Amino acid sequence: MYDWNYTLFSAIGYEESLNFISGQKNRPDKIKCTSYDYNETISSVVSEWDLVCDATPLKSLVQVAVAVGKFVGAFCFGMVADKFGRKKVFLFCCILYMIAGPIAAIASTYALLLLMRVLIGIAGSGVYEAGYTILSEMTVKKYRTNLGCLYNISYSIGLIFLPIFAYYSSDWRRLQLLLSAPSAFLLIHCWCLPESPRWLMTQGRNKEAWKLIKGPYSEQRPITDANIQSDTDNVQEAKHPWYKKIFFVLQKLFKLFSTKELRRRIIICYFCWLVASMSYFTIALNAHNFTANKYIYVALNGVAEAPGYILPLIILGFIGRKLTGVLLFLIAGISLLIILVIPSGIPIMIVALIGRLCMSAVFAVIILHTSELFPTSNRNTAIGTSLTMAQVGTIIAPFVVDIGGAQAWWIPSTFCGVMSIIAGLLILLLPETRNKPMLDTIQEVDQSNRYKNVSFKNCFSFS
């Protein structure tokens, strides 16, 4: 806003004001934004602490705090769950969420709110990872993929209910309490949640594991040390001091960059994971930059996300990992760019949701492709560090929406669209891994033929 005498303009009327401005050769200085006038019927974090103008980045930090918490939780709870068990981590994180959620709702300062948001992210990451690990370790291979997809659909269900709660809660504190309440059901769930039998075996607690595996049929086969040993010979864990485990982790990380071929693969994977996560959350947070009803937009994000978890199950078997990833990234990118030229309102919302669906689906594809691109000796490290890059994308997304959107409404979607297209084109350089034997050592990667290495020649090879 320019530094005119607006009191004078109000007195002389529109025509005289326009003539006065037209007769001025030089524009006055712009008045720096200091505050907004807020809708008093709705209380939000932004209105309560005036997170606007120069304080806009502080608004982004409220979302970033959760992402940072997830980053910390993903890094820590994997090792903690290996040491103390999946169920204990699940229980601890449920209690942490039950404490942090309500405290966030009554936070008297912005700093306390940020701290509680970090703890909420840590707790959410621990609950998700521990629950998913128990599910995968207790499920036979035949049903593991399908149950994993059903597990992730819970995200879309929660996203559908979120705007319903928000619509009937005009105060952000009340909404935070409503979102924290279901954690009580998680705590009740802990009473019937079993520990992972595989983890029990690695700890030498074979009789407990055997009872869980056999269930009510354990009486039909007596539990003896001999038959337990015959069933658990292949499930052992090396015992090392904690500092040696950290050294082994760092050693495996450095090995990902030990050869030219591995470096090319991991850099492309990192970029794709970062772009997928950043675009996914940018689309979710970008409602206020579109002329669309924010409640309907968020609910439809949840509706669009559910098919995204199922779609890869259908198409991966037909066209492979590489072409599926390329198509999903390109469709998402083009959808986000088309927003520039289509009418505002419902058309923009529909096209953005197509991008959201593709980004939901692309996660299932790139985690599978990443796992098959790297040898067994470095596979977990490749996936773990790729997930870390995805969290970096999650941290970037709120700043893209708030700072980029403040400059122009189309910047967040256009930026993510361009990055998605670049990611899709980079996947063309990777080899296809469908129906290919998985590699076990770094030497096998280096000895692969030219069509199994990162190369421009792979752009036209999809088998």
Tell me, yes or no, if the two domains 49-195 and 241-463 fold the same way.
yes
Under DSSP, the state recorded for 171 is B
The per-residue pLDDT for 1 is 60
Backbone angles phi, psi at 171, to 5 degrees: -115, 130
Residue 109 — left, alpha, or beta (φ > 0 → left; ψ -120 to 50 → alpha)?
beta
DSSP codes of every residue in 307-326: HHHHHHHHHHHHHHHHHHHH
Distances (CA, A) of 242 to 29, 78, 80, 89, 133: 61, 14, 11, 18, 22
- Tally of CA atoms within 13 A in the half-sphere of 283 that contains its CB: 33
| Single pTM value for the model | 0.72
CA dihedral 281, 282, 288, 294 (to 10 degrees): -30
pLDDT tens digits in sequence order for the chain, 463 residues long: 666 677 777 788 877 877 777 777 677 777 777 667 766 677 888 888 888 777 778 888 888 899 889 888 877 776 677 677 788 888 898 899 999 999 999 999 999 999 999 999 999 888 887 887 777 777 776 776 677 677 778 888 888 888 889 888 888 899 999 988 888 887 777 777 777 777 777 677 777 777 776 664 444 444 444 444 444 444 444 455 655 656 666 666 777 777 888 888 889 999 999 999 999 889 888 776 666 678 888 888 888 888 888 888 788 778 888 889 999 999 999 999 998 888 777 788 888 889 889 998 898 888 878 878 887 666 767 777 788 888 889 889 988 988 888 788 889 989 999 999 999 999 988 888 777 766 667 667 666 655 466 666 666 655 5
At 439 the pLDDT is 63
Where exactly are the structural domains of the chain?
1-31, 49-195, 201-232, 241-463
Give the architecture (CATH level 2) of 241-463: Up-down Bundle (1.20)
Q: What's 438's DSSP letter?
A: P
Q: Name the token pair of 183.
A: 């954690």
Report the pLDDT value the prediction gives residue 49, as an integer from 0 to 100. 86
- Please provide residue 140's backbone torsions phi and psi, each rounded to the nearest 5 degrees: -70, 155
> Residue 439 carries which DSSP code?
P
Token digits of residue 8: 């004078």
Instruction: Say what the pLDDT of residue 237 is.
Output: 46
Q: What residues have CB less than 8 Å from 201, skipping those under 6 apart? A: 209, 232, 235, 236
Give me the sign of the Cα torsion angle 429, 435, 441, 444. Answer: negative
Selected from 3.40.50.1400, 2.60.40.770, 1.20.120.1200, 1.20.1250.20, the CATH number assigned to the domain covering 49-195 reads 1.20.1250.20
CB count within 10 Å of CB 416 equals: 30
pLDDT at 249 (0 to 100): 61
Best CA proximity match to 400, nearest among 202, 191, 408? 408
